[in-house]
A and B are shown apart, each in its own frame.
Chain A
Amino acid sequence: MATLPVSLENITEHFGPHLARSLGNRLATGVEPDKTVATHCCFCGMQCGIHLKVKDNQVIGFEPREDFPFNRGMLCPKGVKRYLQGAHPDRLVTALERDPNSPGGFRPMEYEKALDRVAAEIKRIQEKYGRDAFAVLSGASLTSEKTYLMGKFARLALKTANIDYNGRLCMVSAGAGNKKAFGVDRAANPWSDIPKAEVIWISGSNVAECFPITTDYVWQARENGAKIIVVDPRITPIARTCNLFLPVKPGRDIALFNGILHLMIENDWLDHRFIEQHTVGFEALAEHVSQWNPKRTSDVTGIAEKSIRQAAEWWGTAKSSFLMHARGIEHHSHGVQNVLGAINIVLASGRIGREGCGYATITGQGNGQGGREHGQKCDQLPGGRDISNPDHRAYVAKVWGVEADEIPKAGVDAYEIFREIDRGNIHGLLSICFNPKVSLPDSDFITRALEKLDFYVAIDFFLNETAHHADVVLPGSLHEEDEGVVAQVEGRVIRINKVVEPPGDARADWTIIQDIAHRLDCRKGFSFANPGEIFEELRVASKGGTCDYSGITYEKIEKQNGVFWPCPSEDHPGTLRMFEPGSWNPIAKGAGPFYFPDGKARFNVAPYTPPTEDVDADYPVILTTGRVVSHFLSGSQTRRIGPLVDQYSEPRLELHPKLAEKYGISDGDQVTVESRRSSIQLPAHVVTTIRPDTVFVPYHWAGRQSINRLTISAQDPISKIPEYKVCAVRIKKGLRTED
């Protein structure tokens, strides 16, 4: 039974979110820090460098880290206030056990006893229902060492096929699209190429709010004369002053890309030499996009035809360019097709693999890149290897000292894990760095599934909303309490340094995982003394894979301010830019710059399909979701930081005055928004900066404020990413009558 042990109000009273504020040593102006540690921000994929100031084993403030070349001291508000997450009143400092009679529904328990209980429950469930009946959910904010260990732990200690991670909600469409087109999944270019481009194309990315420091790179391009094209249903801050704004109707990006390619072909804005020498599949694609004339493209995308022609001309005739996209085109049931569409117009222009000619997905999570490389995905083994490929299995089995057939087969994706729980096939769950009750779509279903679990153990530093359902909670480590590496947005592998010791009974996540493995009588391969030892094994395990870390060492990272993978040997400086002419990779082996045996990139026909749930008479309004600048993902951390909550304290429903007028809604009115799955109430924010047929709600909040109760769990068939960016709703002024 994993229903809430006590009322939500009771849990919240004891475990938060409470708001941390700058007080005591953090507010005093006469305190000399004991030390200042160079590390990185704990939040998004930018991984900005930052110095944290420490006094008495407490992070008391920050100092900009101007020597880190990527952000040169720049930080967003989350980075500035990140220091407030430590020494927090909500911090878990002991193991906890579900107990409806204790305040807050949990009682502290000894760490060792908690481990005993966890191991016993795992054994019980697996003996009764089979190995795969116990699943693992991991996350992409963990260091690569931990993500590697999580994959190994699931496969060797739990021997379960079912491990997946929260990157499933994040960048998997981009990853899958990149693999289909390039054979490898990494931002093709460093950000230093952005200012060198003549045209910047930004599709589905609220750059200014989700990746604030990328703004400077885009503005720098504009200073150098670049034209900026932004495709978004909302006039976001990056769109406000761009040269061309394309207000795409949510879910129609692929139509736009096909339409652009149609115009490129029609006007012969193509790099024929590149297409011929370095790609395959153009003819079939050309045939497919011939139907996407500007009129049809305009009809489908909701973008004026004139704007589409202008975009195609600028893109088509540019000498250099950088196309970037993010969740806006990826969070769709055809997310991979959207990504392929974007890649198609890049490949057709031939502008990739050169300075100032770039393409990248803007990775969302702190280790969104590294977290999807080393085996915590359900179908993946370290080094970006494929769990269903016998050679890959054999290599990793050798590194792990096991037989290849001891490694379980591919498991199911994160959302499917919950469906399997619902179906009664999965009975136990271990989660770390994941708050699916807030972050997964149709989350009322997630709640019901959590309630069906036999046993659920959560490892976390705060009791997040999902962990409210846990039987046992183990106190893990904050970002600043452990060390390791992450790969940031550019594929640059950087070092996270330990700043303070975990408080109380809390400990580094990797020690907890090893402790559980030991309790499961699995010592071999789980006796790492520190993250450095895990990293050494990761290097070996990734050697020869597409994500080759074998030449990366902690020292080299420090010396070079990061190392771009692939880095196949210790004398290799790392790969700043992918797909450069004449570059070598382990798949093409010199045949060409792309990661296929022939060295050529793939054009993929990307057919348009409407969103799974299109609007209709009953649910006539498009709902799209996204982020605000002061919060991060499910808000487990940022909703506990006072100044960030002050900045944006509750979700609001953004809608156009025309739509508001239709429903008699004024700014600030309470509005009910309802989908086929659930409904919530929230205040209206009437603005002209959104498409009149679309409403927007940020998704960082839980419970009654959680928009993911409304979103649809439709998934991309390839990447399994959920369709957060479009579903059908109806809106009404006031509260629901039944409330």
Chain B
Amino acid sequence: MAVPQQYEFFIDPNRCIGCQSCVQACGECDTHKGHPMIHLEYVDRPFSVQTAPVVCMHCESPTCAEVCPADAIKKTEDGVVQTARKPRCIGCSNCVLSCPFGVPKMKTELELMMKCDMCYDRTSVGKKPMCATVCPSQALFFGTREEIERLRPRSVPTNRFQFGRQTITTKVNMMVPSFSENMVVDVTAAMNEPPVDQSFDMEALAVSDFEF
């Protein structure tokens, strides 16, 4: 069984509201029950409520698998980069530190790396992954390209990401504005950028006669 080719994962972090439905639901999936694999965190909470949901992007050439000394990370024929094979993983954390998206999780007590496997028990039988099914903002979307084109006229999917000189191509798509000239998400360029809602400067917008 394989993930039907017409279904793809599209993420739009800018829609995320940080509710953690994805995290709570992720732990309900049978391939990693009790262990939420998705990451969700505040980008810079004191200054913003922006949150970053990160699932495995399923790289075409997965750095995690290549830096694995134990050959524990395998990609299925349908392009899903699986979680570490339990008999092989030696818990070295190479993948955790090397993944450009920061996806794999080290479970120290299990001496095992675990990561998002696109809910393979669900997607391989035609269901949607848990996170994308429940996501109330649909920052995580699983469906066909036709659906996403119809639903998201403002944006287009891209699957190329820039990390320094390295371009990474992924199975999972990220929605970027349709006016984007460069269809590559330059991650390293964002290193010292603030969260996205700084245009709402509370101090400038809120008029107050309170004496500080």
The answer to whether any beta carbons of A and B sit under 8 Å apart in the complex is yes
Q: Are A687 and B151 in contact, CB atoms less than 8 angstroms apart? A: no
Question: Interface readout for B5-18 with A: 1 if CB under 8 Å, 0 if not?
Answer: 00000000011111
Smallest Cβ-Cβ distance to B210: which chain A residue: A693
Residues of A within 8 A of B210 (CB): 615, 620-621, 659, 692-693
A686 interface residue, CB < 8 Å from B?
Answer: yes
Give Cα A239–Cα B48 distance, bound, in whole angstroms: 11
Residues of A within 8 A of B16 (CB): 237
Q: Are A691 and B202 in contact, CB atoms less than 8 angstroms apart? A: yes
Name the one of A75, A224, A240, A667 contacting B21, with C-beta atoms under 8 angstroms: A75
Smallest Cβ-Cβ distance to A242: which chain B residue: B200
Give Cα A222–Cα B25 distance, bound, in whole angstroms: 26
Q: Are A80 and B200 in contact, CB atoms less than 8 angstroms apart? A: no
Question: Interface readout for A616-653 with B: 1 if CB under 8 Å, 0 if not?
Answer: 00001100000001100000000000011001000000
Of B77-85, B92-100, B110-118, B133-141, the segment with at least 4 beta carbons within 8 Å of chain A is B133-141
Smallest Cβ-Cβ distance to A656: which chain B residue: B202
* Chain A 210-243 interface residues, beta-carbon cutoff 8 Å to B: 212-216, 219-220, 222-225, 233, 235-241
B206 to chain A, nearest CB (A): 4
Q: Are A76 and B136 in contact, CB atoms less than 8 angstroms apart? A: yes
Question: Interface readout for B188-204 with A: 1 if CB under 8 Å, 0 if not?
Answer: 00000000110010111
A699 interface residue, CB < 8 Å from B?
Answer: no
Question: How big is chain B's contact interface, by range?
Answer: 35 or more
Question: Interface readout for A682-706 with B: 1 if CB under 8 Å, 0 if not?
Answer: 0000111111110000000000000
Question: Interface readout for A292-323 with B: 1 if CB under 8 Å, 0 if not?
Answer: 00000011001110010000000000000000
Number of A-B contacts (CB under 8 A): 176
A235 to chain B, nearest CB (A): 6
A725 interface residue, CB < 8 Å from B?
Answer: no
Residues of A within 8 A of B206 (CB): 233, 247, 249, 302-304, 691-693
Smallest Cβ-Cβ distance to B208: which chain A residue: A693
Residues of B within 8 A of A691 (CB): 202, 206, 208
Q: Are B212 and A629 in contact, CB atoms less than 8 angstroms apart? A: no
B90 interface residue, CB < 8 Å from A?
Answer: no
B152 interface residue, CB < 8 Å from A?
Answer: yes
B83 to chain A, nearest CB (A): 14
Contacts A74-B138, A219-B138, A240-B49 hold; do A303 and B202 have CB atoms under 8 A apart?
Answer: no
Question: Interface readout for A666-694 with B: 1 if CB under 8 Å, 0 if not?
Answer: 01000000000000000000111111110
Give Cα A214–Cα B19 distance, bound, in whole angstroms: 13
B123 interface residue, CB < 8 Å from A?
Answer: no
Residues of B within 8 A of A213 (CB): 136
Contacts A304-B205, A629-B20, A693-B210 hold; do A212 and B48 have CB atoms under 8 A apart?
Answer: no
Q: Are B24 and A80 in contact, CB atoms less than 8 angstroms apart? A: yes
Contacts A66-B133, A689-B202, A690-B202 hold; do A240 and B50 have CB atoms under 8 A apart?
Answer: yes
Q: Are B208 and A249 in contact, CB atoms less than 8 angstroms apart? A: yes
Of B26-34, B57-65, B158-166, B179-187, the segment with at least 4 beta carbons within 8 Å of chain A is B26-34
Give Cα A662–Cα B47 distance, bound, in whole angstroms: 18
Name the one of A224, A238, A615, A657 contacting B153, with C-beta atoms under 8 angstroms: A224
Smallest Cβ-Cβ distance to A208: which chain B residue: B17
A77 interface residue, CB < 8 Å from B?
Answer: yes
Q: Are B136 and A212 in contact, CB atoms less than 8 angstroms apart? A: yes
Question: How big is chain A's contact interface, by range?
Answer: 35 or more
B107 interface residue, CB < 8 Å from A?
Answer: no
A244 to chain B, nearest CB (A): 9
Contacts A249-B208, A307-B205 hold; do A689 and B49 have CB atoms under 8 A apart?
Answer: yes
Contacts A80-B21, A247-B202, A302-B208 hold; do A73 and B137 have CB atoms under 8 A apart?
Answer: no
Smallest Cβ-Cβ distance to B200: which chain A residue: A245
B173 interface residue, CB < 8 Å from A?
Answer: no
Give Cα A121–Cα B53 distance, bound, in whole angstroms: 56
Residues of A within 8 A of B204 (CB): 304
Residues of A within 8 A of B27 (CB): 22, 643
Q: Are B25 and A80 in contact, CB atoms less than 8 angstroms apart? A: yes
Smallest Cβ-Cβ distance to A23: which chain B residue: B34
Give Cα A246–Cα B202 distance, bound, in whole angstroms: 10
B70 to chain A, nearest CB (A): 24
Residues of B within 8 A of A692 (CB): 202-203, 206, 208, 210, 212
Q: Are A223 and B205 in contact, CB atoms less than 8 angstroms apart? A: no
Name the one of A223, A245, A247 contacting B154, with C-beta atoms under 8 angstroms: A223
Give Cα A498–Cα B71 distance, bound, in whole angstroms: 49
B171 interface residue, CB < 8 Å from A?
Answer: no
Q: Are A240 and B138 in contact, CB atoms less than 8 angstroms apart? A: no
Q: Are B135 and A236 in contact, CB atoms less than 8 angstroms apart? A: no
Smallest Cβ-Cβ distance to A83: which chain B residue: B28
A175 interface residue, CB < 8 Å from B?
Answer: no
Contacts A235-B49, A239-B200, A245-B200 hold; do A64 and B205 have CB atoms under 8 A apart?
Answer: no
Residues of B within 8 A of A249 (CB): 206, 208
Residues of B within 8 A of A630 (CB): 20
A120 to chain B, nearest CB (A): 46
Q: Are B15 and A74 in contact, CB atoms less than 8 angstroms apart? A: no
A666 to chain B, nearest CB (A): 11
Smallest Cβ-Cβ distance to A238: which chain B residue: B17
Residues of B within 8 A of A55 (CB): none
Give Cα A80–Cα B21 distance, bound, in whole angstroms: 7
Among B45, B200, B203, residue most surrounded by chain A Cβ atoms (within 10 Å): B200
Besides A219-B137, A303-B205, 11 new A-B residue pairs in contact (Cβ under 8 A), listed by A number: A64-B130, A74-B133, A74-B135, A215-B137, A233-B206, A241-B14, A307-B205, A647-B24, A687-B46, A688-B47, A691-B206
8 examples of A-B residue contacts, CB within 8 angstroms: A80-B134, A212-B17, A216-B138, A235-B49, A237-B17, A240-B196, A656-B203, A662-B212
User: Top 8 A-B pairs ranked by shortest CB distance?
Assistant: A208-B17, A212-B136, A237-B17, A693-B210, A247-B206, A80-B24, A77-B24, A240-B197
